[in-house]
Structure 1
Amino acid sequence: MASADLREELTCPICLSTYTQHVTLRCGHNFCQGCIGSVWDSQEGSAVYTCPECRAEFQERPALQRNLTLCNIVERFLSTQPEQAETVIFCTYCDSSVPAAKTCLLCDASLCDKHLKQHSKPEEHVLTEPTASLKNRKCPVQKEILKCYCTEDAACICVSCCVFGEHSGHQVETLNEASEKKEKLRNILEKLTSVREETEKRAQSLQEHKREAQEKAAGLTDRVTALIRYNREQLEVLEKRVLSKITRWEEQVSLRVSDLIQQLEIKKDKLSKKMLQIEALCNITDPLTGLQGHESDNADFCDAEEGDNEDREREDNMVHSVGDLDEVLIPLTSQRLTDIVTDLKAKSGFYVQEALNILLDVNTAANNVSVSGDLKTASWSERDQLRPNTPERFEFFQVLSTRSFSSGQHYWEVEISDSGIRGVGISYPSIEREGRQSLIGNNKKSWCLCMWHNNHAVIHDSIETEIYPESPLQRLVIYLDYEAGRLSFYQLCDPIRHLHTVTATFTEPLHAVFYVRNNG
């Protein structure tokens, strides 16, 4: 009995439950911190704050203080309570321990089935489930049954308090109505909890996306920096090479021109001597001597004229050779610069764009080509795949991609085995499907990089251009710029190495094409 009385003393008058985070007001009454906080939240904007127990008024919202003594009492009380089912309530009127069926809040008595039949049932008698906490069911002021709920003070009250008591004029609801609202609030709380959890998941997902973006940006920064550094080195090498060629050309021209100048100086001296001889002949008074000297001078003069014509021709050739440097060296330099810039643009484009997800078209795969279930791997097969013979199917070794490209810039990555014969490239869909002329590179409608043994070549229209990679090709990048008519092959390593670029004017949509043979 003492335990029950103590429980009543440790019960919050607002929520009618044992105190949790209990606080004490200046008037001496105790409440759960959350309960009194809710009451005063509802009183925000009014002139005063009141105590739900004694109606003491406070001009300002009081600071809540923990009741440490009461806190210790509640903790010790709860620790002594056995963890068992709810205490059985017995009939008040039976001599023996007969369980009660109902409790009458008006009579403050619990009734078994027998006494319940004898109990009067006017409206003021309120029957509830058996309970020992009758004090919590009655108004501490009017000692009447709590039937209403004051929404302004967030307190359970009796009818008298509602009509002429301290809660007169307040917004009041029945306990059932308030309970239903609480149930709605619980439903709303559950929904809000679900929304909050979903919001947290989305926030976590966005944080993960942000982290991935930061990592990707950091990787992209490192690779672009490496590419810029590599191309800067290439430009420096090109500058040194061009300047060295210009210097050598200047030295060669200077030597040749100096030699010509020396020869002209010698010729000028000879001409000066000859002019003196002629002047001397002109001054001779003897006709015979003057004529004899004149004949020999005429012959020498004719020879000098012929030699002078040859010298002029050599000088003209020298002048023309000076102009040839601009016509040859500058275009070559410009082309190399264009290649470097295009190469840089293509390489950097690999990391700004996303690599394409290329899928293989089984309807085009030859019956000696095995295609994986995810449509991403093609391999040579000794066993006939027994696919139906259709017009779009290749006779030998090849398969096209499902996707085609008729504009824009695109790239895809390919992993390659180190055995067999392998080929990767692009093809028009109008490529033939039977005979040797259908193999990629053997016609004008396809371009490919073919690999066999230690040989590597880019092939188009049966014309091979050999390439010499620095290391075995395990991963490739194929870069297509449709409008520019460029198809580039790169070795995917660090840094990326440019293998070869094909230029063409594309007139049809293009498919990625793959060639596998002899365990490729």
Structure 2
Amino acid sequence: MDVETKGKYGKQLINVDLRDELTCSICLNMYMDPVTLTCGHSFCRTCIVDVLDTQNGSGAYKCPECRAESQERPTLVKTTKLRNIADSFRSTYPEQEEEVRIPCTYCDSLVPAAKTCLHCEASLCDKHLRRAKEKVQNLEELRRQVPEKAAGVTERVTALIRDIRKQLEALEKRVLSEISRQEEQISLRVSDLIRQLEIKELSRKMGDIEELCDMTGPFNCPTRTGIRADYYDAEEDTETHDIEGHDVRALDVGLISVTLHSGLTGIVTRISIRRRVPEASDMLLDVNTASDLYFCIKKDLKTVSWSEIDQSRPETPERFQYYAHVLNSSSFSSGRHYWEVEGNESGWWGVGVVYPSMKRKGKRSGIGDNNKSWCLWRRYDNNYSVRHNNKSIQFPHPLSCCRIGIFLDYEAGRLSFYENRRVEEFTHFPNPFPNYHNALFINPLCVCLCIWVFTECHLCVFE
């Protein structure tokens, strides 16, 4: 190695050593406006101010270099000579400053960092800084959503508890009414027996008086009195037997317990169904699918009724031409959904689901008359039946109300019908049809309402 090479190499080593002495241990760059702490270590003014600001309220201030502590915030002493040396070195060797760049903590190669975090002691390049900001934004969005979700859960829980309280109050009224009914019934029976006993007692006294009046002499008294005594004993035995024969019992605790138990069971069943069945979203009927045959849709787009007035709707491919049907405006292709339909008690109406590709014309275009629709029909005589692919199965007994709950579990291929007042499932597809094997829906499903003469039907949301 010649003298010139040795000189350059030695000069580079001196520059490197000097550069290290002029480097801030916080930002790892050359000093900018350096200041010195009481312990003697120097830093860039902005760097040490940021560090001290983060230590506010911690009880002690520590030097980032030697960790020396002080109870009061350290006084920053401006170091003019050190600043002059750093400025001189920076102007004499600008390439040295360019080489001193903090690398990204998370990059495999030496990618310059765009920002350094003093809290986590990590440096990030532009790429990782954007990712970190995205994560922070996602967390902030999650933090904003938490109160909204908590408010929604609180509202649902409050509504559920309110509903439980109402049901318990109604159950309390029923049980107390049953107790009052039994109390009144028993009181009437006891009063009737008391009245009978009083009548007999009065009759007995009247008989005694009549005997005394009928006596003709003193010698007949003992004999007649003995006969009357025997008669009284026999009559008392008869009265005791009559009283015991009467159905005068205490309160029927068994019947009261059954009423209470069945009521509590109904409340628990309803709660379990509300947990299992999702809340129904608001549904609206699609006028473009509504039949023009005696079919009137009210302004709320939830109620259909029979009308003899021609609605003069234009003929479209979506409109039912042969039957008084209408579909809702949206379809279900996944998930679980619940809604309710209420029809008048003297009408003929039906509700179900259909594939949108179901025919709109011809005799097989009715709901339940093909393999693209599933339906529950209610007839004038309060008879119900389920219908699919032109096959019907009738229920052996009528239902107690005209409000029917429908639960669709699309992935499970299950369509269930609930009697609203009892909150009991009374049938579901595909259960009624023994030869029905297609348990999965393969296309989106629409809700369908259908009515017959002088009928009104209303689409409800879950309450």
Provide TM-score, normalisation by structure 2: 0.44
Q: Choose between structure 1 and 2 for higher RCO, CA contacts under 8 A separated by at least 6 residues.
A: 2
Provide TM-score, normalisation by structure 1: 0.40
When Rg is computed on C-alpha atoms for both structures, the one with the higher figure is 1
